[in-house]
Structure 1
Amino acid sequence: MAVALVSGGVAYTVEERERDARDRPVATQTPTQTATPSRTATAVAARRVEVDTILLRRAQAVQTGNEALFLTDVDPANKKLIAAQKVLFANLVEIGFQEIGYSQAEERFNAAVMKAHGRTTYLVRVLMRYQIPQVDVAPVTTELGYTFINRAGRWVLTDDDDLDTDLGPGAHQEAWDLGRIEVLRGPRVLVAVEKGDTKRGRAIVTEATEGLAEVSSYWPRKWRGSVFVIALDESEVRDARFADEDIESAASAGSTFSSLPGADTADGTVAGAYIVINPNERDRVDEILLSHEITHVATADLGGYEPLWLAEGAAEYVSWRGIEAISGPGEVGKWEQEVIDDAMPTLSALPTDAGFYQNSADVYGVSWLAVRYLVQRIGLDHVEELYEDLAMHGTDQASRDRILLSRSGLTEATLWTSLQSYRPQR
């Protein structure tokens, strides 16, 4: 009964609708009216076009070496910014980009910035996409924060650091952002130093060239890339943070991204890495230090999922092969025994990624020992293949153990057990 009533109701409704349609007068068709954009929407669209044009001019100015064009859209009332932009322009030309471009990402709001610059303030995150020839194998991206204001009906850049604290690590801290630089070049080496620090720059080019040769000799991956070494009197460069009194960390290899973290994926897409030297260590840079960092650069584009004990252990393996070539096997054997006697007892497992660089134990030594053990067990070529597999696919502990087990017959736990009873042959 219920089904019949409902069905009948539906039928009745359809019949009523059809009868109403027959009886209804035919309406005269009129053109569809399009909503007129609001005045605000029109102004926003016009602003975006004008700012895009400004960004395009800035890129063209760098590519053509036209300083006047680069400064055309800088707020003429901001003399400090004009001076800083002249330095920036000179640095960008000095680098000699193969490709450079700027694009608007998203608008940002900051009440303090709005108060400082007035009601026309436009604060926007900007993506700088560039490629340094023979260094970047593909274009990479970094972030900037630009503040524009409308002055007499024209948009101008009035600040370039209002967003710095809201951007990702290292944003607006590239070598060219930090004062006047000088660039020195070798066949596969680019070195940035303070303007006038030519002697130091040439010395680092020499050491980096030797470090490159060591990586080519002692690490099997056929990497033919080039190295960008940044040696400035700055404690914060890119994503490297060196406290003024910090002498423990001599250098850092920081990733470059073809796609920034959070854009397409949470981790981003790593394209390579640049080396940053601790300003307190610039006079002690040698091929041993640089061969360690260059190993990181040579493996940077593999994915970055390898455990830190493997990443740092491989870099230490290469640099200590260099030491062995200079000093003989005795020096290496001495440190190996020190790691076994002094460092191993302070740990209960392989060093974990969490807190690796804050660990007071000799995690670098233990990582090196683990790689040396694997080289003896399966051979260097297979260790390199293991590294590539883990770097690309070792996204969690289960994947790491699966890959390690399939390629070496060990898990991280059994590798640690093996290290505890390891007695190297002399």
Structure 2
Amino acid sequence: MRRPHRPPGRLLSAVLVLVVLGGALSACRDDAESAPPSPAAHPAPDVLHGLERALTRRAAAVRRGDAQAFESGLAAGRPAFLREQRTWFANVAQLPLARFGYDLDRSTLVRDGKDYWVVVGRRMQLDGYDDRPVTAPDRFRFTPGHRPGRYLLASTTDPAWERAHHVQAQPWDAGPVQVREGYGVLGIFDEGSIGSARAIVSSTESAIGSVAAAVPYSWPHSVVVYAPSDTDFLTSLEGVPGDDPASLDAVAFSVASAPGGPVAATRVVLNPRMLDRGAPERDRLIRHEVTHVAVGRHDDRAPVWLSEGIAELVSVQPMAPQDRLVPEAAVRQARAGVEDLPEDATFNDAESGVHYAVAWWACQYVAEAFGDGALWDLLDAMDQPGADPDRILEERLGLTSQDLAGKAGRMIEATFGPDEIGARRQRS
């Protein structure tokens, strides 16, 4: 499954969404239900300086892994908030941080009694995984400390503001995580999924090698994989194919360096049901998603059938031919005749299994008839602004989309029809 659907165009590995990351942690209920604060009228410079110093101390404590200094910046008398902050600190301490810091937006300062709310941008770059720092906006609340000019953090969440600004908590923001790292792999697990960590990390390491051998583009040969035991993060993604995140086995999603900014990384999240699947099925799925990571933005404007077909084709290469399966519905459709390639808008509907199979075998035909390079040439040509995929197919391959769909269907029927399946069973 590729990444969520992208704004103007289609930015995805199932269709791309630039995800706005946020540092949302649950705070005390009275923070969320307090009376609406009023803007601070010409706040004294020492207030802004005090808040900036508080954020500077917090960032330094995180970078040093200094729990005592970190907790000294928190308001007292809030046990639930303290527990959540300790969990967050323990989570982030496991991450390979190349950069970490905060930026305070002075124009957003709002006074609420003796306290202040302000929008803060958290800058975080995962070493070896993010091309650049990712700035995640959120709204923090500060309260005066015992010493003049010193402010303590009292809340890191404002639910109404987060909903209005589409802030999305990452796994390390939302609850305890367990981090495991392999060669080019950063795996994010939790207590319920940590038992699968070795298998997932190993599978992803192998996938990186397989995909690197197949994909001609330059990419860092590294990937962050979220493998939680629940679907909370998966279902929080916006614009996913089919609009039903829980139905997806996995999604590759893009992370923006800032809201509306360039992409800093493409990450993968697995549906918890994949943790217990057999190794061949799980490994194939991970190779598919890693292919989307490697292709990156080279398929932003290309039709979904091409980007998904390429990912499927790459994902099955390490498998024995008899293990490369398609759904029975795809075989039935092939017998009835495949009239055209799947459309973007309906690719991930109830017939998605058929669409993936047709896309795969359309790419399989192109690779066998014209060579692997023809697929990447098609992708590059179709990814250009204003490109007409049908015209490009005809000019480069002498095929209409209906021609290619028909050839894909006939290959599926020949490969997976009753006679061929019986012959496979006898050979095995």
- Specify the TM-score bucket, using the shorter chain as the normaliser: 0.7 to 0.9
Kindly report which structure 2 residues correspond to 1:285-304, keeping only aligned pairs within 5 A, or say none.
Answer: 286-302=282-298, 304=300
Q: Please tell me whether residue 364 in structure 1 is matched to residue 364 in structure 2.
A: no
SS in 2 for 1:356: coil
What residue number does 1:48 align with? 48
What residue number does 1:63 align with? 63
Which of 388, 396, 404 aligns to 1:418? It is 404
Letter in 2 for 1:350: L
TM-score by length of 1: 0.73
SS in 1 for 2:97: coil
Shift of the 347–409 alpha-carbon distance from structure 1 to 2, 3 Å rule, reads closer
What residue number does 2:426 align with? none
Displacement of 1:95 in angstroms is 0.6
Which of 375, 384, 396 aligns to 2:376? It is 384
Displacement of 1:363 in angstroms is 2.1
Greater mean deviation of Cα atoms: 137-146 or 362-371 = 137-146
C-alpha distance after superposition, 1:241-273 (max 9, x if no partner): 89xx98742111111112422xxxxxx422321
C-alpha distance after superposition, 1:262-286 (max 9, x if no partner): xxxxxx4223211111123222263
Which of 204, 209, 213 aligns to 1:213? It is 209
What residue number does 1:6 align with? none
Tell me if the contact between 1:272 and 1:301 (Cα under 8 Å) persists in the aligned partners.
Answer: no
Greater mean deviation of Cα atoms: 225-234 or 337-346 = 337-346
Letter in 1 for 2:179: V
Greater mean deviation of Cα atoms: 134-143 or 92-101 = 134-143
Structure 2 portions without partners, runs of 5+: 1-39, 416-428
Q: Please tell me whether residue 93 in structure 1 is matched to residue 85 in structure 2.
A: no
Displacement of 1:237 in angstroms is 1.8
Letter in 1 for 2:162: D
Displacement of 1:197 in angstroms is 5.3
Letter in 2 for 1:415: S
What residue number does 2:313 align with? 317
Q: CA RMSD in A?
A: 3.4
Q: Please tell me whether residue 252 in structure 1 is matched to residue 251 in structure 2.
A: yes
Tell me if the contact between 1:144 and 1:172 (Cα under 8 Å) persists in the aligned partners.
Answer: no
SS in 1 for 2:310: helix
What residue number does 1:281 align with? 274
Letter in 1 for 2:266: A
SS in 1 for 2:41: helix
Alpha-carbon distance in 2 for matches of 1:128, 1:403: 44
Alpha-carbon distance in 2 for matches of 1:419, 1:215: 25
Structure 1 portions without partners, runs of 5+: 1-38, 262-267
Which of 104, 111, 117 aligns to 1:123? It is 117
SS in 1 for 2:118: strand
Tell me if the contact between 1:189 and 1:205 (Cα under 8 Å) persists in the aligned partners.
Answer: yes
What residue number does 1:136 align with? 130
Which of 163, 166, 189 aligns to 2:164? It is 166
Letter in 2 for 1:145: R
Letter in 1 for 2:41: T
What residue number does 1:22 align with? none
SS in 1 for 2:326: helix
- Higher RCO (CA 8 Å, separation ≥ 6 residues): 2
Tell me if the contact between 1:247 and 1:280 (Cα under 8 Å) persists in the aligned partners.
Answer: no
SS in 2 for 1:358: coil
Tell me if the contact between 1:344 and 1:366 (Cα under 8 Å) persists in the aligned partners.
Answer: no
Displacement of 1:292 in angstroms is 0.7
C-alpha distance after superposition, 1:282-310 (max 9, x if no partner): 22263211101101111124473332222
Displacement of 1:318 in angstroms is 1.3
Displacement of 1:403 in angstroms is 5.3
Tell me if the contact between 2:136 and 2:258 (Cα under 8 Å) persists in the aligned partners.
Answer: no
SS in 2 for 1:221: coil
Displacement of 1:129 in angstroms is 2.1
Letter in 1 for 2:357: G
Shift of the 107–40 alpha-carbon distance from structure 1 to 2, 3 Å rule, reads closer
What residue number does 1:9 align with? none
Displacement of 1:402 in angstroms is 5.8
Letter in 1 for 2:254: S
Letter in 2 for 1:164: E
Shift of the 364–82 alpha-carbon distance from structure 1 to 2, 3 Å rule, reads same
Alpha-carbon distance in 1 for matches of 2:230, 2:83: 20
Letter in 2 for 1:255: S
Alpha-carbon distance in 1 for matches of 2:231, 2:125: 25
